[in-house]
């Protein structure tokens, strides 16, 4: 691999990219074990895909906001390093596929030229901050949540409290009580509120926590009905710090925040968060909103004259995809991207349209589409004409006819059956047999390739996830059908019920049966979930029972959508949340790196960061010795208590007090220069003790 150096103005970013290149080199040379390297690259957006020898790169787009130049930069990178296809995710990221691992540092450097990062796009980190795509122009919003999402992204990027968590943390900001960002399925979900305090109107948020999808979905619980905007960052940090210390780390299936809160109870968790407030970097964190208060409308330019050849399609597009903004005279345009994909050529042409006819504020959506803002009414016909020529003017954006899906078995290790091709088939079915559903925003359809819900199937009114079913001695691709999920508003929601499993090739028949039954038997004005509740889960099981039978499958039904070979459940090792690293040498190496970071940030005056790095070094050292004794641990709290039990109480190590007293100084002290210096020195001394004792462990083992 050739040597690589960046030419970036930001020294922190440059150091980050050079570190990735260095670790790749060491990994290739066998000097870094695979598990440790996997953890590092995931935190830099580099994700192993289903096809061996290539990587998926996840590009982090805070709350989906892009400039036209950033879209051009991503397109250029995708052409040079990938296949020229851009995939928009349900977390408002962009993914590109089939990238060589050795080229990822230079790819990252190219992106950073337009301030685009890969950092913490994957792994056990604070993931991309999402937000309602209409934020800033939404007629129903109390205020624009965009600056608060941006500030949260900036604060936690490279923040040591979010670098090595037990599992990922997901944060969302909805623009109104409608909760279009689905706050209720996030670790932290924010909903904007206005409250009168001392005769003054104050901005704030309702905060819900501990939601999540995956194989076992949880609806978030209310942490506070109202926190002021200057408390978003301090409270979020306190929550993440508690999760980092108290959360599960061995059983990754139980390592999300939702399990910690369920285990100890919301009240006990909130008490821990309150106790943690003393140690956070900022007690009050005002957020500057001035940059977002400037309307980004372009001066009026005259569009070329065009002739609309399909006036009926234009009418349907205008009714379904064009939204009046709260700013008088301006419109937002929703663009549907089938399966979330579009080519780099299309992206560049879209960027040119934005330059002349929209605000330089492109928003990717959690429904895998695009929103253009501040479009003038006089330009709608021309933009339709141009978008239509690019295949970007299909009516029905964010409607029943716009199905959300993950890549499934196309590229993902965890995919069980194909999700993209069935999405295309079902969308074609809806457009042909139920054309008016392009105006329906009650029924949302979402599909995932497996139970892990990257396609958000568990919050859909009608959801499917990839599965398999046995027929005699053979295995056929299947779809698990889920019904009744969705947002209720104001941070509340409902999880869809698993109803029945059907052969994948009967997916279209299943959807038709559900929609036809709803159309025939619903009451006037009745919404789908109300109809589902009235009829009950058993009713729909009986309705679909014959379709779900595996007794007489045809040869075609043993083939997955888009495939010609016989189906088999080839599932790889998932990397969505990294792995647990138990190798002693790796723990010691990482502990040294954390101590080096503590020293560097102490010198730079970043005292809170230095303290957290010192604490992390203490935990790594303690875990290394415990692993050396084959003592199992499942959280940082357990590491602390077991270290006292195995090393302090036995006098094998002597400290000034217990290890618990040493480590937990982090939660009992303000992040001052004096404490940061003292804590670093204690961590440094402890690291030396750990290395000496580890040498003795190895020496005794060899006797």
One domain, residues 139 and 281? yes
pLDDT of residue 530: 98
Task: For residue 404, give the H/E element and its range.
Answer: strand 404-405
One domain, residues 545 and 598? no
Task: For residue 48, give the H/E element and its range.
Answer: strand 46-48
Q: Is 173 helix (H, G, I), strand (E, B) or coil?
A: strand
Separation CA 453–CA 213 (nearest Å): 6
- Within a domain: 566: no
Residues 574-593: tens digit of each pLDDT:
555 433 333 687 788 888 99
One domain, residues 488 and 350? no
What pTM was computed for the model? 0.93
- Within a domain: 136: yes
Where does a domain end: 236, 256, 291? 291
The DSSP call for residue 428 is H
pLDDT of residue 578: 37
Angle, to 10 degrees, between the axis of helix 232-246 and the axis of helix 636-643?
Answer: 50
Regions of the chain where pLDDT drops below 50: 1-3, 573, 577-582
How many folded domains does the chain comprise?
A: 5
One domain, residues 107 and 33? yes
- Within a domain: 395: no
- Within a domain: 278: yes
- Within a domain: 192: yes
One domain, residues 546 and 496? yes
Q: Domain limits at 63? A: 11-112
Q: Are 195 and 202 in contact (CB under 8 A)?
A: yes
pLDDT of residue 583: 60
In which order are the strands placed within the sheet that holds 130-131? 130-131, 171-173, 188-197, 200-209, 221-228
Residue 146, domain CATH: 3.30.413.10
Where does a domain end: 276, 291, 306? 291
- Within a domain: 46: yes
Separation CA 438–CA 399 (nearest Å): 5
One domain, residues 139 and 287? yes
Residues 624-667: tens digit of each pLDDT:
999 888 999 999 999 999 999 999 999 999 999 999 999 999 99
- Within a domain: 399: no
One domain, residues 86 and 195? no
One domain, residues 435 and 385? no
Residue 375, domain CATH: 3.90.480.20
Six-digit token string for 592: 């040294």
pLDDT of residue 504: 95
One domain, residues 375 and 428? no
- Within a domain: 123: no
pLDDT of residue 48: 86
One domain, residues 214 and 309? no
Q: Is 12 helix (H, G, I), strand (E, B) or coil?
A: helix
Separation CA 411–CA 655 (nearest Å): 51
Q: Is 486 left (phi over 0), alpha (psi -120 to 50) or beta?
A: left
One domain, residues 283 and 303? no
One domain, residues 413 and 541? yes
């Amino acid at each position: 691999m050739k040597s690589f150096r960046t030419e970036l103005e930001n020294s922190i970013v440059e150091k980050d990219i050079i570190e990735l290149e260095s670790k790749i080199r060491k990994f290739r040379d066998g000097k870094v074990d695979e598990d440790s390297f996997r953890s590092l690259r995931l935190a830099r957006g580099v994700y192993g895909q289903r096809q061996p020898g290539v990587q998926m790169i996840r590009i982090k787009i805070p709350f989906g906001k892009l400039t036209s130049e950033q879209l051009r930069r991503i397109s250029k990178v995708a052409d040079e390093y990938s296949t020229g296809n851009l995939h928009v995710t349900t977390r408002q990221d962009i993914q590109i596929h089939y990238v060589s691992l050795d080229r990822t540092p230079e790819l990252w450097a190219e992106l950073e030229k337009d301030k685009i990062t890969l950092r913490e796009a994957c792994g056990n980190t604070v993931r991309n901050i999402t937000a309602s795509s209409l934020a800033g122009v939404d007629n129903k919003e109390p205020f624009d949540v965009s600056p608060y999402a941006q500030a949260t992204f900036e604060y936690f990027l490279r923040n040591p409290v979010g670098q090595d968590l037990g599992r990922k943390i997901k944060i969302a900001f909805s623009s109104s009580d409608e909760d279009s960002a689905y706050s209720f399925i996030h670790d932290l979900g924010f909903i904007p509120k206005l409250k009168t305090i001392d005769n003054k109107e104050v901005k704030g948020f309702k905060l819900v926590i501990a939601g999540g999808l995956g194989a076992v979905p949880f609806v978030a619980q209310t942490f506070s009905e109202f926190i002021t905007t200057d408390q978003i960052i301090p409270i979020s940090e306190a929550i993440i710090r508690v999760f980092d210390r108290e959360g599960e780390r061995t059983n990754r299936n139980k390592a999300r925040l939702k399990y910690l809160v369920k285990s100890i109870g919301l009240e006990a968790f909130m008490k821990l968060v309150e106790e943690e407030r003393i140690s956070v970097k900022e007690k009050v964190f005002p957020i500057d909103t001035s940059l977002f208060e400037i309307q980004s409308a372009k001066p009026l330019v005259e569009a070329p004259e065009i002739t609309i050849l399909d006036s009926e399609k234009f009418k349907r597009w205008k009714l379904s995809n064009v939204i009046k903004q709260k700013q008088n005279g301006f419109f937002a345009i929703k663009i549907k991207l089938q399966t979330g994909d579009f080519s780099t050529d299309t992206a560049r042409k879209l960027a040119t349209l934005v330059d002349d006819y929209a605000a330089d504020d492109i928003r990717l959506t959690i429904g895998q589409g695009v929103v253009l803002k501040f479009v003038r009414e006089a330009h709608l016909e021309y933009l339709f004409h141009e978008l239509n020529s690019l295949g970007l003017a299909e009516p029905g954006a964010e409607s029943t006819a716009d199905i959300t899906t993950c890549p499934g078995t196309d590229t993902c290790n965890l995919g069980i059956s194909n999700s993209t091709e069935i999405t295309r088939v079902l969308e074609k079915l809806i457009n042909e047999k139920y054309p008016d559903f392009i105006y329906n925003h009650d029924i949302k359809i979402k599909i995932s390739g497996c139970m892990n819900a990257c396609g958000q199937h568990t919050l859909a009114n009608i959801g499917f996830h990839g599965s398999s079913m046995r027929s005699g001695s053979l295995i056929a691709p299947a779809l698990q059908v889920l019904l009744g999920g969705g947002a209720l508003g104001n941070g509340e929601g409902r999880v869809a019920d698993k109803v029945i499993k059907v052969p994948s090739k009967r997916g279209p028949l299943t959807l038709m049966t559900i929609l036809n039954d709803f159309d025939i038997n619903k009451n006037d004005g009745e919404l789908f979930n109300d109809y589902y509740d009235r009829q009950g889960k058993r009713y729909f099981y009986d309705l679909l029972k014959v379709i779900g039978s595996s007794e007489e499958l045809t040869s075609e039904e043993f083939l997955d959508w888009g495939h010609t070979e016989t189906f088999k459940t080839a599932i790889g090792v998932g990397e969505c949340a990294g792995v647990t690293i138990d190798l002693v040498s790796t723990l010691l190496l990482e502990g040294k790196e954390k101590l080096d970071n503590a020293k560097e940030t102490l010198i730079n005056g970043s005292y809170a960061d230095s303290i957290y790095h010192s604490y992390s070094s203490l935990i790594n050292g303690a875990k290394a010795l415990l692993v050396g004794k084959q003592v199992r641990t499942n959280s940082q709290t357990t590491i602390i208590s077991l270290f006292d039990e195995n090393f302090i109480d036995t006098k094998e190590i002597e400290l000034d007090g217990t290890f618990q007293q040493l480590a937990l100084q982090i939660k009992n002290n303000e992040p001052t220069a004096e404490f940061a210096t003292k804590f670093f020195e204690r961590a440094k001394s402890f690291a030396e003790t750990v290395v000496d004792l580890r040498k003795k462990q190895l020496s005794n083992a060899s006797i």
